[in-house]
């Protein structure tokens, strides 16, 4: 199972850790919500749990729970700027449909 991390995403993770003065990486997850079924979650990770998998690239770490990993396998995490909006963007090959607002997806 793999998760790819762009240099932009890694840079933003590193800067966030410095700004928050703690944490060891980004926790990428999935929650049931929205009109399509699932939404991505992003939080700082303080530790790696027994059910977590660690991915590293460009001097940054991403932690994902094993259950979420089955829906995220093969994804690429990027950090993009669109006008005034700055967000993590997940290119997920397992997502079959996105809702109109772009906040949720189905598999």
Q: What is the CATH number of the domain that holds 14?
A: 2.60.300.12
Residues spanned by the domain of 74: 3-106
pTM of the model: 0.86
pLDDT profile of the chain (107 residues), mean per 10 = 94 93 92 79 94 96 94 95 88 77 62
3-class SS letters over 7-64: HHHHHHHHHHHHHHCCCCEEEEEEEEECCCEEEEEEEEECCCCCCEEEEEECCEEEEE
Total domains in the chain come to 1
CB 72 within 8 A of CB 92: yes
3-class DSSP state for residue 84?
Answer: coil
């Amino acid at each position: 199972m793999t998760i790819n991390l762009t240099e932009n995403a890694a840079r933003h993770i590193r800067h966030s850790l410095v700004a928050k003065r703690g944490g060891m990486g980004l926790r990428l997850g999935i929650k049931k919500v929205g009109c399509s079924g699932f939404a991505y979650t992003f939080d700082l990770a303080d530790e790696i749990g027994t059910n977590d998998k660690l991915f590293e690239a460009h001097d940054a770490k991403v932690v994902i729970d094993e259950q979420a990993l089955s829906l995220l396998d093969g994804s690429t995490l990027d950090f993009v700027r669109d006008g005034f909006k700055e967000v993590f963007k997940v290119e997920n090959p397992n997502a079959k449909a996105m809702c109109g607002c772009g906040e949720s997806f189905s598999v």
